[in-house]
Structure 1
Amino acid sequence: MPVTAEGYVAAQLTARGYRNVHDLLSEACAQYPERSAFSCGPSRLSFAELERQADAFARYLRHHAGLQAGERLALMLPNSLQYPIAAFGAFKAGLVLVNTNPQYTAGELSHQLRDSGAVAVLLLDRLLPLLRKVQDDSAVRQVLLTAPDDIEAPQYQSEQPDCTRFMQALRLGAAAPPLETVAGLEKLALLQYTGGTTGVSKGAMLSHYSLLANVIQTLELFMRPGLLAPERDVRIAPLPLYHIMAFATNCLSSVGMGLHTVVIRDGRNLEEIIDAMRRYPFSLLSGLNSLFVGLMNHPAFGELDFSHLKWVTSGGAPLNVEVGRRWKALTGAPVLEGFGLTEASPVVCTNTLLTPYREGYVGQPLIDTQVRILDEQGKPCPPDEPGELCLRGPQVMQGYWQRPEETAQVLDADGWLRTGDIAVQDAAGLLKIVDRKKDMILVSGFNVFPNEVEDAVMRHPGIRECIAIGVPDARKGESVKLFVSLRDPALDAAAIIAHCREYLTGYKVPSAVEILDELPKTSVGKMLRRQLRDLELQRSAAS
């Protein structure tokens, strides 16, 4: 809900007449239909083409697939032009989007499909065998398949009788009756899965209101005179769109700003990113610490033309100060760090070229966003004193999907969200994130929860006990380190890591394993994770 009855965001939503996230696209198409909206590889979509194809997909979902407003559609795709087409089409049809990591293992996919109750899935055709392993235990009844090159070389016929090709769905939808955009700002738009503070992955319920509010808050900062020229500016977008930061920034806000966004299919492929930077006079880039390090270490990066580059946005993981300095020295453009979390749609605060800046700080809260820094007794901390960051604003989630008890632990009746992050705020209102949620590990911008890693490790009969922690990593920000005690003394680190790869997505797999005779515990047998974290910090400081 709005922070105040007459808040800026509420006034903007009313003035713009928004009813649904899809209205961002309708507005952009009305203003500049022929301007490039998204490019990926050799293909491009103008705003008019994007709206036309999203409309066809919406018609297919309702008229052919028989899906009803409020039902859930899982998108299990890497970066592609299919992503914005499907997302805006689903929004127009009133469906709830479920962003799903295409690197999930069967167990991870099964949990998300069952928990969300998704009735339809759009995924890469090569991932169909993975879906088949878990489909019978889910509510999925509609399966749509696509290929990475479907836009350039469309495939219409499916070899699977119970599956429909994405391009065939667009063709069928284009011939179907017109469909009005399903209105309702308070309706659920997106289930974005996150672990929150602890435990299994939960679906943060983000409404059309909260997503649009965050776009408006972002536009208020970056659409000021002299900052952007959308008719010329090009954004390079390598981060995966199934991640909330990239989805909100590179998909929703880009459309709201009228930018041309170049989506990189594989954000780990530095050659693909650099090739896109050669082809386009890029002025913006969204990334994180590990990406910046990788690019600067690539021999071809320093040869690029940076004359159009205005700034780089960093989010999803803490920015190393030295990395930011090196980037500006090499490119001439600053790295503007921000902070957000899934439960806030996601942006809470950010630096800009026109707002106060302090190195190591993540900027001021967005408009209509209130923050409190509270001590352990729940009392406000004075400036520059660390405490838990709590916030309230129109971008805050409705709660966790079908988890009222866990919602109540983080979201109170007045709309204040307890983030679990430790922060300080200076006298000018600038925020610095001092520490993150107690146990969460942040690998290249992705949340990794120790309990999940430990559960996978303990499936091995040769493991007695284990503790997973995050350790500093110059490229990823953090990586997972595993401490184990063994039942089978013949086990070594390589075998344990190989075991983990069977059950965990790549970024969750430990990068290092240390074998101990005994793991530290309290007198009542509780594992002392913090003691091992402190040990690693001491080792890092001494090295």
Structure 2
Amino acid sequence: MIDDDALRADIEKYPNLVRWFETCCQRYADASAFSCQGGTLTYAALNEHASHFASWLQRSPHLRPGDRIAIHLPNLLQFPVAVFGALKAGLVVVNTNPLYDRDELKHQFVDAGVKAVVTLANSAYLVEQVLPDTDIREVIVTQLADLHPFPKSVWINLQARYIRKIVPRYKIPNAVSFKSCLNKGQKHAYRPVEIERHQLAFLQYTGGVTGISKGVMLTHHSVLANITQLKTVMNQVCVPEEEVAIAPLPLYHIYSFVLNGLLMLENGAHVVLIINPRDTEGFVKEISRWRFTLFSGLNTLFVDLCQNQDFCGLDFSNLKVTVSGAMSLTRFTEGLWTEITGCPIQEGYGLTECSPVVAVHPPNETRRDDTVGPPVPLTEVKVVGTEGESLHPGEVGEIWVRGPQLMAGYWRQPELTRKTLREDGWLVTGDMGTLSDEGYIEVIDRKIEVIKTAGFDVYPSEVENLIACHPDVLECAVVGVPDDELGEVIKLFVVSRNRRLTVKAVREYCRERLTSYKVPKLVEFRAALPKTNVGKVIRRQIREEEISKQTKKRRHL
């Protein structure tokens, strides 16, 4: 039984994330913290590099505590060094997707008021394009292997530039190399910064899957609270300095960042960073080198791996925890992964606005039906109806959350903050779901994605989860398409492994398993579905494409 008062005291134990980070690094100084592409940083080296980077930032004439710095990097050893160095200098970290196009990059830099950016040489040409429209005054450029030992670092960097030719030309006057920052910072003592726990630590942008990406203000306190809450769950199975965690999802995403970039440090785990999980062959080759105990991913990644023969042949005898988040986990995927690895998947639920975890299945407990587990400690969850009334167990309504891990609000959007974060402390999530008698949460779908057809509500995830069990279906998506008679009709998009699969066969499969109004009226086969860089299917984009098609047809009538 968890003592709530003791847990609250544990959250207040550290005044900020910097003190917590330094404590972890001192406790596990000689242990390996992060590895990537054959390079490894110990906890002591991680803290030392972070201090050197912080020292350089502190001496920049363009930066002051509270300014925003964008970390525009894939999963490299430089990522945690840059993040913790920025925090030690009192800056606010803006984790930025390295695969953003020019417009997306400009929007985030301008909206956040970014003053500095750490970018990879491979992406620097994009930063160059948007610089004139931003307030950025410091550009730090790193190369792939800057933190690898000599001469391996030189070979990898030269190979990237001249053999693989994956570093487009760029010209950024006054840009500074990351290695130069560390070298110059090393010559000056780092000056600790006074940071209050309720000051901003991260400006974390939402994925924008269901709308425009928003800057979520996460404080040192809210993130520390979530780390502490998750620690109580993971400590049931994690042994200090013995865990090896595979981190294939990008650290710029809040789910991977808190789990792999922060929580793992609490137990001195060794995190193996994967730069490009879409390169399945390279991914499998890398993880075959490790006797990994923890693995985090999401539904589409699990499916891709389970279809790879080399992955299926790996040794999974040490794997004791697999965590799924960021999107719904289908029963088909769960069963397939468990069959191949022997390790059940523990699904969790969270939002960027909750730093991010709200609930997770305890790792030593079998998953209950379609739930995502109970709320993490000190977290209240209720399901409410259309009038804000609390609903009974099993009734479908909107999920509301209250707890110490909630955001401070949306960046420069006070009206939206008031609508989402109520005065009584409840966060309106926009997710539909139910609560069981024991308090276990089932997340059904996003409220704005519920399909209303012929007076009925249809939840896309329910239909998708059923169709995903079809042996010939690789992945699928369900959206509502406007219809003059029914309001909306259900359209199913299928990626199939069998070219002979027909629309008739798919609809018949659905008729046998779904109530009539839930059966897709329209079915379309596609070679692929649009996804975020994390791998989450973007229903919004599919629906917008369909509406655009309808508009064009009407114009030609």
- For 1:296-340, what per-residue CA distance to the aligned partner results, in whole angstroms no more than 9, with x for missing partners? 100101211111000200001110111111111111111000000
SS, match of residue 206 in structure 1: strand
- For 1:390-438, what per-residue CA distance to the aligned partner results, in whole angstroms no more than 9, with x for missing partners? 0000110000001100101111112110001001010011100011141
SS, match of residue 300 in structure 2: helix
The residue aligned with 2:287 is 277
- For 1:22-75, what per-residue CA distance to the aligned partner results, in whole angstroms no more than 9, with x for missing partners? 223211222121100000011000000000001111111111454211000001
The residue aligned with 1:403 is 413
C-alpha distance in structure 2 between counterparts of 1:8 and 1:471, whole Å: 49
Matched, 1:205 2:201: no
The residue aligned with 1:138 is 134
Q: Is the 8 A contact 1:197 1:420 kept in 2?
A: no
Q: Is the 8 A contact 1:371 1:389 kept in 2?
A: yes
Q: Is the 8 A contact 2:128 2:171 kept in 1?
A: no
The residue aligned with 1:455 is none
C-alpha distance in structure 2 between counterparts of 1:190 and 1:471, whole Å: 38
- Counterpart residue identity of residue 187, structure 2: A
- Counterpart residue identity of residue 397, structure 1: M
Task: From 8, 11, 14, give the equivalent of 1:10.
Answer: 8
SS, match of residue 300 in structure 1: helix
The residue aligned with 1:108 is 104
C-alpha distance in structure 2 between counterparts of 1:387 and 1:248, whole Å: 28
SS, match of residue 438 in structure 2: coil
Matched, 1:322 2:323: no
- Counterpart residue identity of residue 194, structure 2: V
SS, match of residue 448 in structure 2: coil
C-alpha distance in structure 2 between counterparts of 1:45 and 1:351, whole Å: 31
Q: Is the 8 A contact 1:356 1:363 kept in 2?
A: no
Q: Is the 8 A contact 1:235 1:260 kept in 2?
A: yes
Q: Which ranges in structure 2 are unaligned for 5 or more consecutive residues?
A: 158-169, 451-459, 465-476, 480-487, 497-523
The residue aligned with 1:215 is 227
The residue aligned with 1:232 is 242
C-alpha distance in structure 1 between counterparts of 2:428 and 2:231, whole Å: 26
The residue aligned with 2:361 is 351
C-alpha distance in structure 2 between counterparts of 1:70 and 1:302, whole Å: 47
SS, match of residue 425 in structure 2: coil
Task: From 91, 108, 115, give the equivalent of 2:87.
Answer: 91
- Counterpart residue identity of residue 78, structure 2: Q
- For 1:275-309, what per-residue CA distance to the aligned partner results, in whole angstroms no more than 9, with x for missing partners? 23211100110000011101110010121111100
C-alpha distance in structure 2 between counterparts of 1:474 and 1:94, whole Å: 47
Aligned in 2, Cα 1:515/1:411: closer, same or farther, shift over 3 Å? closer
The residue aligned with 2:302 is 292
Displaced runs of 4+ in structure 1, greater than 3 A? 5-9, 158-161, 195-199, 354-357, 439-443, 469-475, 505-521
State the superposition RMSD in angstroms: 3.3
Q: Is the 8 A contact 2:239 2:267 kept in 1?
A: no
Shift of 1:179: 1.4
Task: From 245, 269, 272, give the equivalent of 1:262.
Answer: 272
Q: Is the 8 A contact 2:62 2:138 kept in 1?
A: no
- For 1:101-128, what per-residue CA distance to the aligned partner results, in whole angstroms no more than 9, with x for missing partners? 1111111111111110000011111222
Shift of 1:517: 7.1
- For 1:67-115, what per-residue CA distance to the aligned partner results, in whole angstroms no more than 9, with x for missing partners? 2110000011111000000111111111000011111111111111111
C-alpha distance in structure 1 between counterparts of 2:386 and 2:264, whole Å: 39
Greater RCO (CA < 8 Å, at least 6 residues apart): 1
C-alpha distance in structure 1 between counterparts of 2:350 and 2:95, whole Å: 17
- Tell me whether 89-98 or 178-187 shows the greater mean CA deviation: 178-187
- Counterpart residue identity of residue 384, structure 1: G
Aligned in 2, Cα 1:65/1:271: closer, same or farther, shift over 3 Å? farther
SS, match of residue 309 in structure 2: coil
Aligned in 2, Cα 1:70/1:26: closer, same or farther, shift over 3 Å? same
Task: From 170, 177, 184, give the equivalent of 1:165.
Answer: 177
Q: Is the 8 A contact 2:432 2:445 kept in 1?
A: yes
Matched, 1:72 2:82: no
The residue aligned with 2:20 is 24
- Counterpart residue identity of residue 293, structure 1: V
SS, match of residue 438 in structure 1: helix
- Tell me whether 509-518 or 111-120 shows the greater mean CA deviation: 509-518
Aligned in 2, Cα 1:353/1:507: closer, same or farther, shift over 3 Å? closer
- Counterpart residue identity of residue 11, structure 2: L
The residue aligned with 1:185 is 197
Q: 1:381-392, aligned counterparts within 5 Å?
A: 381-392=391-402
Task: From 175, 188, 199, give the equivalent of 2:187.
Answer: 175
Q: Is the 8 A contact 2:71 2:94 kept in 1?
A: yes
The residue aligned with 2:428 is 418
SS, match of residue 318 in structure 1: coil
Q: Is the 8 A contact 1:25 1:47 kept in 2?
A: no
Aligned in 2, Cα 1:470/1:46: closer, same or farther, shift over 3 Å? farther
C-alpha distance in structure 2 between counterparts of 1:73 and 1:361, whole Å: 38
C-alpha distance in structure 2 between counterparts of 1:205 and 1:87, whole Å: 16
C-alpha distance in structure 2 between counterparts of 1:378 and 1:414, whole Å: 13
C-alpha distance in structure 2 between counterparts of 1:106 and 1:470, whole Å: 32
Q: Is the 8 A contact 2:327 2:536 kept in 1?
A: no
Q: Which ranges in structure 1 are unaligned for 5 or more consecutive residues?
A: 451-466, 476-492, 526-543
The residue aligned with 2:351 is 341
- Counterpart residue identity of residue 336, structure 2: R
- Tell me whether 21-30 or 325-334 shows the greater mean CA deviation: 21-30
Percent of aligned pairs sharing the same letter: 38
Aligned in 2, Cα 1:516/1:228: closer, same or farther, shift over 3 Å? closer
C-alpha distance in structure 1 between counterparts of 2:261 and 2:411, whole Å: 23
The residue aligned with 1:438 is 448
C-alpha distance in structure 2 between counterparts of 1:390 and 1:253, whole Å: 25
Task: From 119, 125, 138, give the equivalent of 2:121.
Answer: 125
Q: Is the 8 A contact 1:230 1:260 kept in 2?
A: no
SS, match of residue 17 in structure 2: coil
C-alpha distance in structure 1 between counterparts of 2:134 and 2:300, whole Å: 35
Matched, 1:380 2:395: no
Q: Is the 8 A contact 2:54 2:190 kept in 1?
A: no
C-alpha distance in structure 2 between counterparts of 1:185 and 1:474, whole Å: 47
SS, match of residue 205 in structure 1: strand
- Counterpart residue identity of residue 188, structure 1: L
